[in-house]
Amino acid sequence: MHTLKYSAASFFKYLTLVFGALAALIPIIVVFFASLKTNTEYANTGPLTLPENWLNFSNYTKAFVDGNMLLGFMNTIIIVLISIAGATLTGSMMAYILARFKFKGSKLLMSAFLLATLIPGVTTQVATFQIINSLDLFNTRWAPILMYLGTDIIAVYIFMQFLDSISESLDESAMLDGASYWTIYWRIILPLLSPAIVTVIIVKGVNIYNDFYTPFLYMPKSSLQVVSTALFKFKGPYGSQWEVICAAIMIAIIPTLIAFIALQKYIYNGFAQGSVK
Amino acid sequence: MERVSNLSYKNQRILIIFLFSLVPVVLLLTFSYLPVIKMFQYSFTSWDGFSKNMEYVGFDNYKTIFTRPEYFAVFKVSLYYFFATFVQMGLALYFATILSFNVRLKNWFKGILFFPTLLNGVAIGFIFLFFFKPEGTLNTLLELAGLGAWQQKWLLNPHLINISLAFASVWRYMGMNFIIFLGAISSIGSDIYEASEIDGANRWHQFRHIILPSIKRILQLNLILAVSGAIGVFEIPYVMTGGSNGSSTFVIQTVDVAFKYSKLGLASAMAVVLLGIVILVTILQRVLIKEEK
């Protein structure tokens, strides 16, 4: 009786898991199928029908060239690199002084950052837009870069949490050797923070790559399009050519898939750390 | 940084605290606090965003929001996403619990369930546009399963549109909750489970008395995030429907009012109302959680 009950529970467990996995995969897989179909084939087959020719990449070339996706990738890479480098530096510096020094106003500083997280970014966009505008940054790459830098508290948290595990006696022994605080930060703390830096790179990188709102609002100029806005442009003119849109979707997804497979272990850690705190 | 090392450590401290906090503080003030102040200021004007002089109109914008139902309707749409969050967290908790014990192909299931969270928001919008099309994936699947009678025009029916969109949102964010719960559950020491098994606890007892209490704080945190998440919905409905058919969310409406119709003052007042709601809910939750302890 016990084993029967047990195996029924086990069956239910696997059933739900398979169902969950299918629910996660099917919407993507059908898009992949459609991206490999010719126009007539797409028109005459259902979404679940497999493509006739698995090597028909003509939609991909069309989407890539017509959508100017290369430009989108270039702009995305530039923005991601500068934002991440900046967020790593400013975040680790902030975390360093907050974790290592007790000074007047350190509590105030901390609560100022904390309070800012309570203000949902979307509510203040209209006013932020005016600030970006008055700084003459509208339609420049600096608009999103500054915003990705400015609103970031997650990085500071991750670094502070990690700094707690780095013994302060390391700092002290460096000071006995006459190292300045700058040297301690640059030569000792920053290299030791590298696991936390990987986390920050992953969490920020994914967020920036996927963000649509910020570039859409602040950089409408087509020469500044990023992957998200390039993809969005397919909406109007390709309404009847879903096989091309599907190829464009896959072009935007493939880098994520590759990064996910390559960095799986770090990604799990990164998200768990980045979101819990 | 020349000759820093010649300064005394006391002076170095002052210097480094100042230098290291300068950029983050300037950014914080410019992009977090200044917008809030400006937003309050704009909300009392009829400014269009371009003209040189702003005209102060008192509480007119607020009156418009609270008296014209079309401005308040967006909050009803938020409710769909808010309820969807509970479905999402329930699923996430279920999958996180069963996948933290021994399961075959565990890592495959983890990866597949988590992957959607990493995808581009615009791509997800398109994927579900394809999914919900009249001849799309969902209707084809229903046909295949012999449920052809259930086929619907998922995005054209005003009664179904927000449910369909909220479903896409669950699909997108479930993996995020899942991975957070999984991380929290895996930090529970295995000796606790072993001890409970000796005491005769089954899986349900373990979930109820070990897992649930130890992830309580994260559960609460996620609840707080659910409110601002439900109000901040933008990409999925914007890409999929453009906000038509009663699917407009608060952010879509604000963007339209501010940038399409150039009513910056009104849009700011809407944002102030929203900020008020979010802060109220956050305080309320904090108070309730404290009382519970």
Nearest to B95 among A20, A28, A206 (CB): A20
DSSP codes of every residue in B162-222: HHHHHHHHHHHHHHHHHHHHHHHHHTS-HHHHHHHHHTT--HHHHIIIIIHHHTHHHHHHH
Sign of the four-CA dihedral B56, A131, B233, B253? positive
Q: B56 in helix, strand or coil?
A: strand
Q: Are residues B165 and B237 in contact, defined by beta-carbon separation less than 8 angstroms?
A: yes
Mutation choice for B interface testing from A97, A122, A145, A163 by most B CBs within 10 A: A122
- All residues at 6 or more sequence positions from B67 whose CB lies less than 8 Å from its CB, including other chains: none
Mutation choice for B interface testing from A17, A100, A123, A208 by most B CBs within 10 A: A123
- Predicted local distance difference test score (pLDDT) of residue A4: 65
Please indicate if any CB of chain A lies within 8 Å of the CB of B249.
no
* B109 CA: distance to closest CA in chain A (Å): 7
All residues of chain B having their beta carbon less than 8 Å from the beta carbon of residue A143 are none
Q: What is the mean pLDDT of each run of 10 residues along chain A (277 residues)?
A: 70 91 92 88 83 86 89 94 92 90 85 79 83 91 88 78 86 86 89 89 89 90 92 81 90 92 84 59
- Predicted local distance difference test score (pLDDT) of residue B4: 58
Determine, for residues B112 and A94 on separate chains, whether the beta-carbon distance falls below 8 Å: no
- Predicted local distance difference test score (pLDDT) of residue B127: 92
Task: Pick the closest to residue A17 from B183, B153, B105, B2 (CA basis).
Answer: B105
Chains A and B form CB pairs within 8 A to the count of: 267
- Predicted local distance difference test score (pLDDT) of residue B290: 65
- Predicted local distance difference test score (pLDDT) of residue A144: 92
Q: What is the pLDDT of residues A241-263, one digit of tens each?
A: 888 899 999 999 999 999 999 88
Q: What is the pLDDT of residues B99-146, one digit of tens each?
A: 888 888 888 999 999 999 999 999 999 999 889 888 888 888 888 888
The mean pLDDT value of chain B amounts to: 84
- Predicted local distance difference test score (pLDDT) of residue A141: 92
Nearest to A101 among B17, B35, B126 (CB): B17
* A139 CA: distance to closest CA in chain B (Å): 15
The pLDDT of residue B1 is above 80: no
Q: Are residues B266 and B61 in contact, defined by beta-carbon separation less than 8 angstroms?
A: yes
Give the Cβ contact number of residue B218 at 10 Å. 18
> Does A238 or B10 have the greater pLDDT score?
B10
Residues 22-81 of A with CB under 8 A from B: 23-28, 30-31, 34, 46-48
pLDDT class for B245, splitting at 50, 70, 90?
A: confident
- Predicted local distance difference test score (pLDDT) of residue A138: 92
Q: What is the pLDDT of residues B140-169, one digit of tens each?
A: 888 888 887 787 888 777 788 888 899 999
In chain B, pLDDT over 90 holds for what percent of residues?
14
Q: What is the ipTM of this complex?
A: 0.87
- Predicted local distance difference test score (pLDDT) of residue A276: 45
Determine, for residues A181 and B13 on separate chains, whether the beta-carbon distance falls below 8 Å: yes
A97, A171, B124, B228, B292 from B220: Cα distances, Å: 30, 37, 27, 13, 12
The pLDDT of residue B259 is above 80: yes
Place of tokens 């949902």: A120
Residues 173-192 of B with CB under 8 A from A: 175-176, 179-180, 182-184
Q: What is the pLDDT of residues B178-217, one digit of tens each?
A: 988 888 888 777 788 888 888 877 878 888 888 888 788 7
Distance CA B120, CA A175 (A): 47
Q: A49 in helix, strand or coil?
A: coil
